[in-house]
């Protein structure tokens, strides 16, 4: 199953999907978060699933983090103190909260885990923008090794295009699997095709999904 980044609507868009008690809790949590990251804010992140229901919890956590305008240091503290769900919310929120590479240590930490949902969250737009080519290539191989669908990797086609080193690593990985009598993941063939320098380069895509040069 693909665990893609949750959509992040405005609070007004989310409220109709919540019960009245959940809406009141969300309003209070956002007002508290506007004062910055505090122990109360961290408690609200932990309560999100219980208060608003699991289907909305990821989005609620991201909204709370955005309302708090945290610094990279704040996000690092929340990430390392939090559960896997809270860590995932921090990773999903990074593109909206940290313009520079300061939060890359959080991406790198998530990529060292074997939690497939954290791996997926780590390879969102923030990693696409800031992760080094070396670490990004190894992250793609880890996706293939752990069964994380590469369809959840942000800017996959753009970053893989013409990457001869990634193509070499994929070919080596496929050869090792074949020699061991193990199947080669179908996603590997997909990524390998993307590395072809003769393929038409993809249009770089904004985080809102609109290709550069194709805005209306």
Of 60 and 9, more confident = 60
The answer, yes or no, to whether residue 205 has pLDDT greater than 80, is: no
Could you read off the pLDDT of 155-177 as tens digits, one per residue? 999 999 999 999 999 999 999 99
* 107 within some domain: no
Residues near 60 by beta carbon (within 8 Å), at least 6 away in sequence = 14, 26, 29, 48, 51, 52
Q: Please provide residue 182's backbone torsions phi and psi, each rounded to the nearest 5 degrees.
A: -110, 150
* The total number of structural domains that make up the chain: 2
- Claim to verify: residue 70 and residue 162 sit in the same structural domain: no
> What is the rounded distance in angstroms from the CA atom of residue 81 to the CA atom of residue 58?
17
Last residue of a domain, one of 74, 98, 122: 98
- Claim to verify: residue 204 and residue 162 sit in the same structural domain: yes
* pLDDT at site 198: 86
User: Band of the pLDDT at 199, cuts 50, 70, 90?
Assistant: confident
* 126 within some domain: no
63 token code pair? 């909204």
Within 10 angstroms of residue 188's Cβ, the number of other Cβ atoms is: 20
- Claim to verify: residue 43 and residue 93 sit in the same structural domain: yes
Of 181 and 210, more confident = 181
* pLDDT at site 200: 72
* 116 within some domain: no
Last residue of a domain, one of 98, 118, 145: 98
* pLDDT at site 196: 95
pLDDT, averaged across the chain: 90
Of 11 and 112, more confident = 112
* 120 within some domain: no
Section 179-208 average pLDDT:
84
Residues near 61 by beta carbon (within 8 Å), at least 6 away in sequence = 45, 48, 85, 86, 89, 93
pTM above 0.75? yes
Last residue of a domain, one of 50, 74, 98: 98
User: Band of the pLDDT at 3, cuts 50, 70, 90?
Assistant: very low
Which structural domain, as residue segments, surrounds residue 42?
A: 1-98
DSSP 195: T
* 109 within some domain: no
User: Band of the pLDDT at 208, cuts 50, 70, 90?
Assistant: very low
- Claim to verify: residue 4 and residue 92 sit in the same structural domain: yes
* pLDDT at site 211: 37
């Amino acid at each position: 199953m693909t665990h893609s980044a949750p959509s992040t609507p405005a609070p007004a868009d989310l409220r109709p999907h919540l019960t009245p008690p959940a809406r009141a809790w969300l309003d209070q949590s956002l007002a508290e978060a506007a004062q910055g990251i505090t122990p109360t804010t961290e408690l609200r992140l932990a309560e999100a699933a219980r208060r608003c229901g699991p289907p909305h919890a990821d989005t609620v956590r991201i909204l709370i983090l955005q309302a708090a305008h945290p610094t990279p240091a704040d996000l690092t503290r929340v990430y390392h103190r939090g559960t896997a769900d809270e860590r995932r919310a921090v990773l999903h929120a990074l593109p909206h909260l940290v313009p520079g590479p300061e939060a890359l240590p959080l991406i790198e930490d998530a990529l060292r885990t074997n939690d497939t949902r954290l791996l997926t969250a780590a390879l969102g737009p923030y990693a696409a923008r800031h992760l080094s080519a070396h670490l990004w290539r190894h992250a793609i191989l880890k996706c293939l090794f752990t069964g994380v669908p590469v369809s959840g990797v942000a800017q996959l086609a753009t970053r893989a295009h013409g990457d001869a080193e990634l193509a070499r690593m994929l070919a080596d990985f496929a050869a090792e699997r074949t020699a061991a009598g193990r199947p080669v993941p179908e996603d590997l063939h997909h990524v390998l095709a993307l590395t072809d320098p003769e393929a038409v380069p993809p249009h770089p895509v904004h985080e809102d999904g609109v290709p550069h040069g194709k805005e209306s």
